[in-house]
Structure 1
Amino acid sequence: MKTIFTLLLLFPSFLLFAQDESTGTVRGTIAGSDGLPAANITVSITRSSWGSISNEQGKYIIRNIKPGSWTLKISAVGMATQEKKIHVAAGQTLTVDFRLKENAAALREVVVSGRNPDKVNTGVAKMPLKNLENPQVYNTVTSAILKQQAVTDYDDAMRNVPGISRTWASTGRAGDGGAYFALRGFDAQPALVNGLPGLTSGDMDPADVEEIEVLKGPSGTLFGGSFYSYGGIINTITKKPYYHFGGEAGYQFGSFGLNRVTADINTPLSSREKIAMRINTAYHSEGSFQDAGFRKSFFLAPSLVYEVNDRLSFHILTEILQEERAVPPVFFHSDRLSALPFKTIDALNLDPKLSFTSNDLTIRNPKFNLQARMEYKLSGRWTSQTVFSRGTVKSDGIYTYIWDDDSTEADHFSQYFHDEQQTTYTTDIQQNFNGDFNIGRLRNRLLLGLDFFNQHVVDNGSGWGWARNVTPQGDVNYVDPFSGDTLVPVYLTKASIDNLLAGTEPAHSNISNSSYAAYVSDVINITPGLMLMASLRADYFDSKGERSTDEDDFSQFALSPKFGLVYQPVPDKVSLFANYMNAFINVAPAEVADPDGSNPRIKSFKPEHANQWEAGVKANLFSQKLSATLSYYDIRVSNRVVPVAGNPNDQVQGGKVGSRGLELDLAAYPLEGLSLIAGYSYNHTAVIEGNDMDFYSEPGRSPGGQGPQHTANFWGTYTFHKDGLRGLGLGIGGNYAGRYKVIDNSQTGVFYLPAYTLLNASLFYEGSRFRAALNVNNLSNTEYYIGYWSVNPQKPRNFVASLSFKF
């Protein structure tokens, strides 16, 4: 690993001397009709792979252009495309500026879906690539869509992404208390912020979200094995400062006591130097559609940018969240051993209005996240990015769940409680070098990176306490399911639960682990329309386990490759792509024994791996009025640890799970003011190899948490542009989820959650400074459920009214 690190540090220097000056550069500034800088405008050279995107100062630069006559084009959703003829000479730096017909400030908040299919993305591949150049599939949800749909809950943003569905909301519990999603049949949580660790044990606040990127497929090559990423990964991109004063203040109120106040304030800090600050903040208070439950939170996210000169800049972001909630328990309606006496929601007869908790039983999930980034232009061809992040997340309070422990009566379920007292600290340091150069006639876009990640977890929580039995209709008794004795009642008060847990054995755990990684990725233009991507990560994982002992220490090494091929039969309009992608998870050693419990010993394992093959087509047609992605994927996970047949005390590595499916994503702007997005996904996930007697790994069965097989999403808005109705708009959309197998086992039987269709609508007025909107979700008041081996009722019809003022 030391050798790899050294070579990666020295490699850019070798290449700097190896390059020639046979190409040219185009740079310039893009401004709106108001003279203000226009950010996020795509700049490209037609019929080529060269392109860039304007920054917050409206500046862009395109390097390594082959000498000759070209057409330079600028484009973005919500603006008219402009083109200029240019001639580039070897060694020349050409300056080409643009002045838009549109107001730059209005473009920043353009009320359409905000998807720009021609936009250069720098985060998905950790290098500048357009969507048509990238062999990986990804979807984005922009802040414009969040505003259109009055999204106050981060999770609701995912209803705009095909192939992902929520399996349960945030529980607040330690370690993995954030919301769970099924993404291409596997677990996913929003674990990245700006491509860096951004763990949470509670809810995410959408106040500072610029866009959410959902990267599809195993993503370990660039992002490592510290985040479960077999089906993909969720990356939140935050709002960035810009160099003029502006902002927005908003208030939202609605069903179940919703009150939300937000502010987004940006200001330059110096008239002589390029320093700017942006502050996003939100206060959120909301009750529940059930008989108990609430959420109160305060969020503050200041960010700072300092552009020292044309070569050096600093970017700092801090996120602070204080959150307290009363969280309804997850209703696990099976012990995963016994035959289910009910196979449907109707047979279970769960009352969706019951929370099985009280507002006296709360959990706090404070979060702190600091990110600092230094960017430096080493030369006209090479840039350096040094990033640091530090995060702290905590679970502090009562967590509870319901479990089918009561074997005496089929409709009685045990409820357990636990006092969560866990804090997780994360530290991440990355060094990335990006180069754009030619070797002969082959253009290379090269990424070289080093990554250090440390996670430290301190747990001082209580033991688990059985409190009572409940029925799906709310009846309660205190008969111990193990002894049959009737115990003293435990009530849903803080004092009663504290008394219950006082007699349990507390946890005293202090665990630390680190990973050291080096990665390289190169995109080679064999021709302007034919591109090859080759990437590799070398990852060394070092776990110190409990700090009080070295008996549980272990280390593992993994290689994670990634390959992609893109061919554009119609340049800048259609691309055919294929990829091979990999992800991995480090597996801790386990204590095993013979069938009779004798001969205890420690067994070590290799990292678990996921491998995906995918192929499809991306299109950007009719002057960006229609963009589409269609893909087919096949993911295989190997090296899973499963119980040994005939020996419940032993485990073996060899389990396999397969996931395959089809995804379609569409965005269209057929008429002025009309914006449409839609998607469809099909997924089939099943165990390939495992243990016939194990609930979690029975071959031929669904492993759990894979989500519905069929999902579909749609959202459309229309804004009137004629006098009299100018600024008035309508929005309508919805989601479909097919029948979902939340339990699939030969011993327990199969339990289905029913299919459902949701309809949402919006009526809004958008002025130059003022916006007012009314959104109604679940318009038809559909009763529906989600789950992960569980049954979780969801919101009935609800409304959100929004008022905002821009300045």
Structure 2
Amino acid sequence: MKKQLTIILFLSLNMFGFSQSGTVKGIIKDSNNSSLFGVNVSVKNTTKGKQTNENGAFEISNFQSGHYVLAISYLGFKSKEIPFKVNSSETIDLGTIILYEGNELLEEVVIDTERKNKFSRKQSAYVSKMPLKNIENSQVYNTITNQLLISQSVNTFEDALKNAAGITKLWSSTGRSGDGAGYYSSRGFAVQPQLVNGVAGITNGFINPSNVERVEVIKGPSGTLFGSAVTSYGGLINIITKKPYSGTGGEITLAGGSYDFSKLNADVNVSANDKLSLRFNAGFQQEHSFQDAGLKKSVFVAPSISYKVNNNLALNFSYEASGNEQTNETFLFLNRYDTLAFNSIEELNYDTNLSFTSNDVTIENITQNYRGEVAWKLSDQWSSQTLISGGLAKSQGYYTYLWNGSDVFFSLYAQDTDARTKTLNLQQNFTGAFKIGDLQNKLLVGVDYLNYNIIDNSSNWGYLHTINLDGDLVLGEPEINEENLSNALSGLGYVDSDIRQNIFGAYISDVINILPSLSVMGSVRYDRFDYQGDRKTNADDETEFTESTFSPKFGIVFQPILNELSVFANYQNGFSYVNPQYITDFNTGEISLQAFDVEQANQFEAGVKTNLFNSKLEATLSYYNINVDNKYYWATKTQDLEINSQGIELEVNANPIDGLNIHSGFSYNDSEITKSPSATFLEGNRYGESGPEITYNFWADYKFFKNFGIGAGFNGQTEYDTMVGYKEVTGSFFIPGYTIFNASAYYENDTFRISIKGNNLTDETYFSGWSTVTPQQKRVLLGTFTYKF
């Protein structure tokens, strides 16, 4: 009897095993017959899934007999669903499956189990507003991936941007009205993060990286596709937020560390069915300063929803609201109009432990951004994307700064801030892939409308006191508190302004494949600016100003080794509308509102991109040369500066051996004011917002024994003159160069991740500045625990 039971059990197990042995396989290629590596292939309503290998092949096994639907998605390509039926012991070969390129829709979350080079993601539908692989794109951009942010335990947006080649911080976020987001230098020009998910987005105040999927730093003048309101001549910063995906799961993160740092974040994704997906991300974060006073608090909620009406139509909506409160970070504004009494940090003799502020005096920012999208697959070759987005940022509370009025003394000035900025952006894009004869075309046609409105009811500026850098009172009220600030501002009146700008744009871009290895790109944009002035204070002479401009762009890419090595060159144009200014005629004493021409910047760039060893080595090396020939100069209110900025940039993402991922970058920038008739003393100087000549970053993450890992790296820059634009009057003031070392260790599995991280391990004292001096973070230790479900 026992022997019979054993035989029956053996046969049953074998029958069960055979019934589970069905297999489906295939090869996925693009319309040019090139194999696609890393394509997500999943079986709907199951947990089964794979990614294609370097040959585009996939194989999924252990199916019971039945009917299934294969869902195929890849960033930058239109998704595809294929029904199939499998019987026990049967292998279904679907043959070659062709994916057609199109805009990013729902399938943006990538399965990472087979992805080797985890710090590289060189495909985006945002950079060119059409699907282009990095290696076939004539423009340079850096991508800071979510995997890199996790590896580095990043908790601030500033720390995230340290991973972008050539990006250096000039100012931290101030939260003040109008331009309260942080300032960074890119290719010799100041830029702020003002693009969210490819459209205009307000990032005034603190940006919480817990809702950031990745950051794209797009290099060079990019006005042709993005206009002027969100770009600079050095490039633009595009923040990609986390979006819903098909499936149910999420994670909860707790973190704590030095200076009372604490963080709680919850990220949950739910799919009600195969059409509807919801994601809710929320978090709280706070910390105190390393100085004697100073704090930051932030809370955010970010719900998003995606509804796939059918295989051709998807509706996506995302919303993010954040509330931030912070003390004014220590900004020592150096005198721009008189000789400085010091020329270096050593001569300044500043005790960086002193903040010259109070935790009772804060500024608050409430920001909201929303984005609605209708993504419509018109055919296998054509798709439509309709976007509506907008934002609101409020600045309320006291904004203070310290001005070096004379000698070694600094005077504190304050404003009771009450301002709000509103944006509305409407955009319609059509993308298509088609042939004219033997020439393959990828075409983008789009229209864009942006409304920008700044309403400012803040007080006028008031004076509180003068101190030395030991904190000793020289003149005025001794204490920084709400009562003294209120008294100092009493009776000074209010700004009371309302400025509105409407921008209408239209653009067209075509990438033509002359040969599989050779492509050319041509683009042009038309913009019309409608400036409606200060609608409150200048009601008597309320004049509407209009300007228009064209912005061209050209590129060429040659691939000596198809999909592995490319040589590229581009011409790019950027432009900037200069708001009308009040000009005084000193002969007559008359004051009039004067309009200016639209500024223009032109870049020529050439370089090499690689995607070698099955994507294990991705690198970009480029040389750029940017010229601006009609730059407005605020001090003389003239438009006669000519600026040249040139340099080289290198970015490398590598996976040399299993488990080891490396990200690094290097940049050199040479910036010069070549002509300035109204202020000849500027000629020959480095442009003021250029920052240091050399910046560099490196990070390596090595995972061993399957679950354990360590990370280590550094970032730094060379010395630079923060008063370079004024030094003929003031003399120089040098911000020292530095190298900051960081390291981490972690353990992770499918359920949780625990890590420790040390930033600035050598406790380096270092600074940032743009005609200012601001001390940066001292040594910090962080611990993070993430539970995944």
Offset of residue 540 of structure 1: 0.3
| Match in the other structure for 2:595 | 604
CA distance in 2, matches of 1:791, 1:368: 31
Q: Which amino acid aligns with 2:387?
A: V
| Match in the other structure for 1:580 | 571
Task: Note if 1:781 corresponds to 2:781.
Answer: no
CA offsets per residue over residues 84-132 of structure 1, 9 Å max, x none? 9967xxxxx8699xxxxxxx99934889762346x53211000000000
Task: Note if 1:733 corresponds to 2:713.
Answer: yes
Task: Note if 1:537 corresponds to 2:517.
Answer: no
Q: Which amino acid aligns with 2:742?
A: N
| Match in the other structure for 2:331 | 330
1:692, 1:699 within 8 Å by CA — same for their partners in 2?
no
What is the aligned counterpart of 1:248 among 246, 251, 266? 251
| Match in the other structure for 2:507 | 519
Task: Note if 1:469 corresponds to 2:472.
Answer: no
Task: Note if 1:153 corresponds to 2:141.
Answer: no
In structure 1, the residue corresponding to 2:225 is in which secondary structure?
helix
CA distance in 1, matches of 2:788, 2:318: 23
Q: Which amino acid aligns with 1:732?
A: A
Task: Note if 1:551 corresponds to 2:542.
Answer: yes
Q: Which amino acid aligns with 1:526?
A: I
Q: What runs of 5+ residues in structure 2 fail to find an aligned partner? A: 1-30, 58-69, 79-92, 101-107
Identical-pair percentage: 40
CA distance in 2, matches of 1:274, 1:299: 27
CA distance in 2, matches of 1:678, 1:377: 38
2:330, 2:775 within 8 Å by CA — same for their partners in 1?
no
CA distance in 1, matches of 2:696, 2:380: 45
Task: Note if 1:434 corresponds to 2:431.
Answer: yes
In structure 2, the residue corresponding to 1:503 is in which secondary structure?
coil
In structure 2, do the counterparts of structure 1 residues 466 and 671 end up closer, same or farther at CA, with 3 Å as the change threshold?
same
Task: Note if 1:804 corresponds to 2:771.
Answer: no
In structure 2, do the counterparts of structure 1 residues 730 and 61 end up closer, same or farther at CA, with 3 Å as the change threshold?
closer
Offset of residue 466 of structure 1: 1.0
1:692, 1:698 within 8 Å by CA — same for their partners in 2?
no
CA distance in 2, matches of 1:543, 1:717: 50
What is the aligned counterpart of 1:446 among 443, 446, 449? 443
What is the aligned counterpart of 2:653 among 655, 660, 667? 667
1:490, 1:500 within 8 Å by CA — same for their partners in 2?
no
Offset of residue 757 of structure 1: 0.8
| Match in the other structure for 2:682 | 698
Task: Note if 1:459 corresponds to 2:456.
Answer: yes
| Match in the other structure for 2:15 | none
CA distance in 1, matches of 2:109, 2:225: 34
Q: What runs of 5+ residues in structure 1 fail to find an aligned partner? A: 1-21, 47-55, 65-83, 88-92, 97-103, 479-486
2:742, 2:757 within 8 Å by CA — same for their partners in 1?
yes
Offset of residue 36 of structure 1: 3.8
What is the aligned counterpart of 2:723 among 735, 740, 743? 743
TM-score (norm 1): 0.85
In structure 2, the residue corresponding to 1:633 is in which secondary structure?
strand
Offset of residue 593 of structure 1: 3.8
In structure 2, do the counterparts of structure 1 residues 767 and 281 end up closer, same or farther at CA, with 3 Å as the change threshold?
same
1:642, 1:690 within 8 Å by CA — same for their partners in 2?
no
1:461, 1:506 within 8 Å by CA — same for their partners in 2?
yes
2:51, 2:114 within 8 Å by CA — same for their partners in 1?
no
CA distance in 2, matches of 1:109, 1:260: 28
1:137-536 equivalence runs, <5 A: 137-269=140-272, 271=273, 274-333=275-334, 335-406=335-406, 410-478=407-475, 487=476, 489=477, 491-536=479-524
CA distance in 1, matches of 2:566, 2:629: 31
CA distance in 1, matches of 2:501, 2:753: 48
CA distance in 2, matches of 1:581, 1:795: 37
Task: Note if 1:753 corresponds to 2:756.
Answer: no
2:501, 2:530 within 8 Å by CA — same for their partners in 1?
yes
| Match in the other structure for 1:78 | none
Offset of residue 435 of structure 1: 0.4
CA offsets per residue over residues 585-621 of structure 1, 9 Å max, x none? 1112333344445354443211011111100000111
1:26, 1:63 within 8 Å by CA — same for their partners in 2?
no
In structure 2, do the counterparts of structure 1 residues 60 and 148 end up closer, same or farther at CA, with 3 Å as the change threshold?
closer
1:25, 1:61 within 8 Å by CA — same for their partners in 2?
no
1:25, 1:62 within 8 Å by CA — same for their partners in 2?
no
1:113, 1:142 within 8 Å by CA — same for their partners in 2?
no
1:153, 1:205 within 8 Å by CA — same for their partners in 2?
yes
TM-score (norm 2): 0.87
Q: Which amino acid aligns with 2:359?
A: N
In structure 2, the residue corresponding to 1:290 is in which secondary structure?
coil
| Match in the other structure for 2:697 | 713
1:642, 1:691 within 8 Å by CA — same for their partners in 2?
no
Task: Note if 1:114 corresponds to 2:118.
Answer: yes
1:781, 1:796 within 8 Å by CA — same for their partners in 2?
yes
CA distance in 2, matches of 1:256, 1:612: 44
1:590, 1:604 within 8 Å by CA — same for their partners in 2?
yes
In structure 1, the residue corresponding to 2:684 is in which secondary structure?
coil
In structure 2, do the counterparts of structure 1 residues 492 and 652 end up closer, same or farther at CA, with 3 Å as the change threshold?
closer
CA offsets per residue over residues 165-207 of structure 1, 9 Å max, x none? 1112111111111111011111111111101111122011111
CA distance in 2, matches of 1:304, 1:434: 24
1:72-111 equivalence runs, <5 A: 107-108=111-112
CA distance in 2, matches of 1:453, 1:361: 35
| Match in the other structure for 1:484 | none
CA distance in 2, matches of 1:179, 1:601: 33
Q: Which amino acid aligns with 1:59?
A: S
Offset of residue 561 of structure 1: 0.8
1:110, 1:144 within 8 Å by CA — same for their partners in 2?
no
| Match in the other structure for 2:617 | 626
Larger deviation, residues 32-41 vs 707-716: 32-41
CA distance in 1, matches of 2:183, 2:76: 40
Offset of residue 507 of structure 1: 1.4
CA distance in 2, matches of 1:635, 1:532: 21
Q: Which amino acid aligns with 2:760?
A: N
1:461, 1:507 within 8 Å by CA — same for their partners in 2?
yes
1:112, 1:145 within 8 Å by CA — same for their partners in 2?
no
In structure 2, do the counterparts of structure 1 residues 183 and 414 end up closer, same or farther at CA, with 3 Å as the change threshold?
same
CA distance in 2, matches of 1:110, 1:492: 56
In structure 2, do the counterparts of structure 1 residues 396 and 546 end up closer, same or farther at CA, with 3 Å as the change threshold?
same
Offset of residue 329 of structure 1: 3.6
CA distance in 2, matches of 1:617, 1:206: 31
CA distance in 2, matches of 1:655, 1:460: 33
